Amino acid sequence: MKRWRASIVVPALAAGLGLTAPAMAAPTDISPAARPQTILHMLDYVAVDYPGAVRDGGVADEGEFKEQVEFVTQALAMLTELPERPERAALVEQARRLVALVQGKRPGEEVARLAGEISAGVINAYQVPVAPARAPDLKAAAMLFAARCAACHGADGRGDGPAARGLDPAPTNFHDVERLGRRSAFTTYSTITLGVAGTPMAAFGDLTDDQRWGLALLVASFADTSAARQRGAALWEQGRGRAEFSDLAALATTTTTDVTARHGADGAALLAYLRTRPDLLLRRGGDALARSVHLLTESVAAYRAGRVREAQDLAVSSYLDGFEPVEPSLDAVDRTLRTSVESEMITYRTMLREGASVGAVQAQAEKLQGLLAETQRVLSGGTLGAGPAFASAFIILLREGLEAVLVVAAIIALLVRAGRRDALSAVHGGWIAALALGALTWAVASYMVTISGATRELTEGVTALVATIVLLWVGFWMHDKSHAQRWDAYLRSRLRGALGRRATWGLAGVSFLAVYREVFETVLFYQALWLQTAPGAQHALMGGLAAAAAALALSSWLIIRGSLRMPLGIFFGATSLVLAALAIVLAGKGIAALQEAAVLSPHPITAPRLPLLGVYPDLIGLLLQAALLVLVATAFFWRSRTLRPEA
């Protein structure tokens, strides 16, 4: 892809952006929304190819030099057509200087530097998304490269694939240090997204955004050496590079040439390492909030460009992947601020869904960014001390675990009352398997693949609703046995206490569902809390965890012991009510999780917010809970009237 005409490049960009273009596209033929991206792509190729067209004040390649003149001339024309911004006049003036430099055959370094400055200005002024929404999965990218790119570019990216013979121009050799050193992952991403008309390089619009970013980072890393990556890993462990590479945007837009000029070989080594470990830029609380702000900015940009669905997805990710991980830490120091951010996030997503004006959406986003900045200030004001760390750890586990304890303890008491202690192993296996699978899910999500917040909430929402159905079934079943004669008849039908195999595994399934839905989120909360706790106070966090575990164990023992001493009718009646109540609580939580994952649209209303009871200020969730409450009350009343003559 080394050489092509400007008359080909601009139509290619237009085609990649879903536009039509004549043989020679004028700047006005490209939509206003597409122009910033087009300008960036053209400036990138000026920065990369111009140094090879001019040497020592003379033209080294006449054809390529004419291409560079066309590129910068059209970039200038498109800049004048961009929407009015305070920065636009300065950008146009810089573009005029760039045209003069190219026409004057100035040194390549000077032209590339100015082209980079203009690109940065366009990105900032027009909020062009320049980074992935989440850390790309590079293992998946390697498999995708082998399937979609290796035929031309070769298995190792050297441009020597079996389909490369006879291609003109030849496929790029991604190990060309000089050429690739002047390209960022973002510019490679643009090429993968848009393609290059008139060359074998097609647009890969069928790939997801995450897949294209994965390929871009993978390709950008081919020219890096293993020695540089090892050096970068050591520097990162020493705390170096945190300021230069504060987020994924910095990683995606930095070139090896630029970082070497500014920070020497150590800067290049850090860049080489982080290209293979982008996940490291998302693990700190501050990074999570910076990610939330970044995704919010991208959401506004997408909405302004008319990409409403993309704007909604980015808004969801801004909350789930950016803000939610720091909620436990913020709860420990300012619960009111946490509630405010959640409420304003819901308002923002509602505005996107209802088609609010761009100005109103921008104003709401700025309000949210102010709240996120305040959150950053509050959390960076000092790490959690021993007292807040202990209290936060205790409350999180107690809050998340109490529902599961109530369910599992009730099931154990039921089996003991039925004389079926041999079935306890299935129930214990259910909750132990849930703990193990929850831990495994977290490990896989953290270290092997990238699971978005939306996927996490979808899992929790579906699990909660399934658990609601199962708990209602068990609750109705137990209420049906709350009359002594019905229980005696059931025991006789099951050979004096022998529960059926289906019932046994059903209770084990309830035990599994009750625990699994809590484990994954609890582990993520503890991970975020650990990062916010002062090093000398982390023992207090572990103490809070241990104290909460002990409290839950004691609660289980008291519930089981108290249940065994209850009269049979009271035991079944009380337990059926508890399980039915938990089902209603989980229904509210399930709806809230699916709304956070953007599977269901929120319908906020003025109502109290009681997360512990599954009560949220949303019409859909409250209507479902009200319907279930009526169903439970009606069914219990009707069955009680039906069974009364048998008592």
Q: What is the DSSP track for 463-491?
A: HHHHHHHHHHHHHHHHHHT-SHHHHHHHH
Residue 130 contacts residue 251 (beta carbons within 8 Å): no
Q: Kindly report the pTM of this predicted structure.
A: 0.47
Distance CA 464, CA 467 (A): 5
Distance CA 621, CA 379 (A): 32
C-alpha 235 chain-centroid distance: 27
Mean pLDDT to the nearest integer, 522-545: 70
For 425-480, write each residue's pLDDT tens digit: 888 888 888 888 877 766 665 544 444 444 555 666 676 676 667 667 656 655 55
Mean pLDDT to the nearest integer, 179-201: 79
Residue 9 pLDDT more than 60? Answer: no
What SS3 state is found at 642?
helix
The sign of the dihedral angle between the CA atoms of 116, 117, 122, 123 is: positive
The pair of three-digit structure tokens given for residue 118, joined into one six-digit string: 């203009």
Quote the mean pLDDT of the chain: 75
Mean pLDDT to the nearest integer, 43-51: 81
Distance CA 509, CA 498 (A): 18
The pair of three-digit structure tokens given for residue 100, joined into one six-digit string: 């003069």
**What torsion do the CA atoms of 474, 480, 484, 489 make, to the nearest 10 degrees?**
-90
Q: Can you give the pLDDT at residue 137?
A: 84
The pair of three-digit structure tokens given for residue 330, joined into one six-digit string: 């913020």
Say which range, 92-106, 278-292, 401-415, has the weakest mean pLDDT. 278-292
Q: Can you give the pLDDT at residue 640?
A: 66
Say which range, 59-63, 158-162, 390-394, 431-435, has the weakest mean pLDDT. 390-394
Residue partners of 591: CB distance under 8 A and separation at least 6: 461, 465, 600, 616, 618, 620, 621, 624
Greater pLDDT, 49 or 149 = 149
Distance CA 157, CA 150 (A): 7
- Strand pairing class (54-55; 58-59): antiparallel
Mean pLDDT to the nearest integer, 510-533: 68
pLDDT band for position 93 (cuts 50, 70, 90): very high
Buried b (16+ CB within 10 A) or exposed e, 532-557: bbeeebbebbebbbeebeebbeebbe
pLDDT band for position 520 (cuts 50, 70, 90): low
- Angstrom distances, CA of residue 639 to CA of 131, 478, 483, 490: 59, 11, 11, 16
The pair of three-digit structure tokens given for residue 425, joined into one six-digit string: 């192993």
Residue 407 contacts residue 492 (beta carbons within 8 Å): no
Answer whether the bond into residue 169 is a cis peptide, omega within 30°.
Answer: yes
Residue 600 contacts residue 594 (beta carbons within 8 Å): yes
Partners of 58 in beta bridges: 55
Q: Is 471 exposed, middle or buried (0-12, 13-18, 19+ CB in 10 A)?
A: buried
For 563-588, write each residue's pLDDT tens digit: 666 665 565 666 667 767 777 887 88
Q: Can you give the pLDDT at residue 491?
A: 42
| One-letter-per-residue 3-state SS of 310-337 | HHHHHHHHHHHHHHHHHHHHHHHHCHHH
What SS3 state is found at 623?
helix
Neighbours of 472 (CB within 10 A): 22
Residue partners of 575: CB distance under 8 A and separation at least 6: 410, 413, 414, 475, 478, 563
The pair of three-digit structure tokens given for residue 3, joined into one six-digit string: 């050489």
Amino acid at 429: G
- With tokens 């595994």, the residue in question is 505
Neighbours of 83 (CB within 10 A): 12
Q: Can you give the pLDDT at residue 3?
A: 38
- 59: phi then psi, degrees, rounded to nearest 5: -85, 120
Residue 75 contacts residue 11 (beta carbons within 8 Å): no
Say which range, 55-59, 475-479, 513-517, has the weakest mean pLDDT. 475-479
- 644: phi then psi, degrees, rounded to nearest 5: -60, -40
For 607-617, write each residue's pLDDT tens digit: 777 776 778 88
Partners of 254 in beta bridges: none
pLDDT band for position 20 (cuts 50, 70, 90): very low
Widest CA span in the chain: 107
Q: Which helix (H) or strand (E) is 58 found in, with range?
A: strand 58-59
Q: Can you give the pLDDT at residue 285?
A: 42
Distance CA 612, CA 628 (A): 18
Q: Can you give the pLDDT at residue 391?
A: 74
Q: Can you give the pLDDT at residue 10?
A: 40
For 371-382, write each residue's pLDDT tens digit: 887 887 776 544
pLDDT band for position 281 (cuts 50, 70, 90): confident
pLDDT band for position 24 (cuts 50, 70, 90): very low
Q: In residues, how long is the chain?
A: 647
- Angstrom distances, CA of residue 29 to CA of 23, 35, 69, 72: 11, 10, 20, 17
Distance CA 601, CA 95 (A): 45
Q: Is 181 exposed, middle or buried (0-12, 13-18, 19+ CB in 10 A)?
A: middle
Count of H helices and E strands in the chain? 26, 2
